[in-house]
Chain A
Amino acid sequence: MYNDKESQKIVDIIQNYARKHSLFVLAYGTGCGAIEIPPTMTSRYDAERFGIRGAATPRQADVLLITGYLATKSLKRVIKVYEQMQDPKYVIGFGSCTINGGMYWDSYNTINVLDKYLPVDVYINGCMPRPEAVIAGFVKLQKQIQAGKADGWDKYKKNLDYYKENQKKVITNWVMPDFNW
């Protein structure tokens, strides 16, 4: 019964519907983009309409929202946080800095392309993206989840060697376990 393809399809539809409409967001707000999160969540733009709601810890969260540039020092913490989250998990790259480095593209201590280190499901570009753009990004993520295409967490597991190699290339003092549970 459980391995039956038709019934699995029905389970998938229910699963994806529930996942789509209930996104617990963990905002990693060290970049300047964090200033756009409060208006997105509060009265004016009200992201709770879509079932988006803040999570307090990585264990409870579904979405890791990375707002802006990542210094190599903070990348280490982001990797820790990402690996502590439970599957299925999604990453949203927020702002130009996560796409190509943005205004910090030639800085000595920031990473340029986030996708090399963590699997990003949705990018929101702009410097800064306005709350409308942020909500549009979340809606795009919801569409991907509904279609079953937001599988960054699966990609991370399958290509762990590739991601670890890239991570260790920029983090010179790697004093933590290879995988943080």
Chain B
Amino acid sequence: MEGIGYKILGAILTTVLAFVVGMFYGGFSRKIIARIQNRVGPPVWQNFLDVLKLLFKKTSVRYGVMHHLAPLWMITMSVTTLMFIPILKDGLFFSNLNFSGDLIFLLYIMVFGSLGMALGAGATGNPNSAIGVSRGLTQMVGFEIPWVMALVALMIQYKTTSVTGLLDIQSQSGTWMMFSSPFAFIAALLAMPGMFRYSPFDIVGAPQELASGPVSEFGGKYLSTMMTSGSIFAFVKLTLYVDLFMGGASNLIELVIKTFALYMYPVLWGAVSARFRTEQSVRYFWGWPAFFGFIALLVAAF
């Protein structure tokens, strides 16, 4: 009975932590981009204010059931994914649910949020949304290939399909996987900006061409829920990368330092580059990232 209580408390704590950290990361990235452009920029808690204001907006738009369900679907999927990722290596609260084979499960469930967004955007009937969804799915085909190659290479090389198993191997051998299997790390790292959708890979929600793409008909509470879900999911992805390649974290300060260092890579790349077209983006992902993923598979298999 006590175990269940700790698990529930841990789940709530993890969700709050992911929300707060994800939101502050968004604020920091806006501030850093502003400093790069020689501006002062908004305060770091600006994203909290945005979400709060959007929650207080009234809504009088109805497009059908899926339009209402899409933001809920997205936030449910973000929190579900979060529940299967060990936040800390050996904490009382943050180990969360995990089982052998959860890496394969994570590969599946990580795309479910985008699927909900696609269905909701389709329900609104806005042409910009439809174009955004088709671009997003095309780009997903692009970055999923090197990402899956990297993960399969890890699974073959270390003969385990669980995130905690990979964490244990790293803490036993004492080296991070970014050093013990470098090609998989390079492939996963090159595929990472596609997941975060900063420039040059922000072809889905391009505000200038597509009027923010799939979310163009979502305002108020819907947009607020989507922003919350997005920041939780950013934290999920960063923590997964840290768990897989950077040896996990044994306390929260270490986790924040490692995830923030990793987060700066797509943000800083985005701050200095312009947007790709869809086919350029896919060509990029099927070029060097897929090549390194292939090398990683070869190294792992032989």
Contact = CB atoms under 8 A, between A and B. Distances in A.
- A and B from one assembly? yes
A18 B61 CA distance: 22
B57 interface: yes
B46 to A, nearest CB: 6
B302 interface: no
Among B42, B46, B59, B217, find the residue whose CB has the most chain A CB atoms closer than 10 A: B42
A22 B220 CA distance: 13
Interface stretch (A48-56, A68-76, A110-118, A124-132): A48-56
B53 A59 contact: no
A60 B223 contact: yes
A164 interface: no
B44 to A, nearest CB: 12
Contacts of A3: none
Interface in A73-92: 86-88
Contacts of B37: 42-43
A15 interface: yes
Interface string B183-213: 0000000000000000000000001001110
B38 interface: yes
Contacts of A14: 52
Give the interface size class of chain B: 20 to 34
B42 A57 contact: no
B182 interface: no
Contacts of B56: 15, 18-19
B40 A60 contact: no
A48 B61 contact: no
Given A86-B220, A87-B57, A56 B211 contact: yes
Contact of B38 (A43, A49, A54): A43
Given A22-B53, A57-B217, A59-B219, A86 B211 contact: no
Contact of B216 (A21, A46, A57, A88): A57
Contacts of B38: 43
B172 interface: no
Interface string A28-58: 0000000000000011001011010110110
A181 interface: yes
A57 B212 contact: yes
Interface in B22-63: 30, 34, 37-42, 46, 49-50, 52-54, 56-61
A57 B34 CA distance: 23
Contacts of A62: 53, 57
B263 interface: no
A83 B56 CA distance: 18
Given A19-B53, A22-B50, A54-B207, A43 B39 contact: yes
B219 A60 contact: yes
Given A42-B37, A49-B41, A181 B61 contact: yes
A97 B151 CA distance: 61
B292 interface: no
Among A19, A51, A57, A61, find the residue whose CB has the most chain B CB atoms closer than 10 A: A57
A46 B212 CA distance: 22
9 contacts: A21-B53, A22-B46, A22-B53, A43-B38, A51-B49, A54-B207, A60-B216, A87-B57, A88-B58
Interface of A: 14-15, 17-19, 21-22, 42-43, 46, 48-49, 51, 53-54, 56-57, 59-62, 86-88, 181
Given A14-B52, A48-B39, 15 more contacts: A15-B56, A17-B49, A18-B53, A19-B56, A43-B38, A48-B40, A48-B41, A56-B207, A57-B211, A57-B219, A59-B216, A59-B217, A86-B57, A86-B61, A181-B60
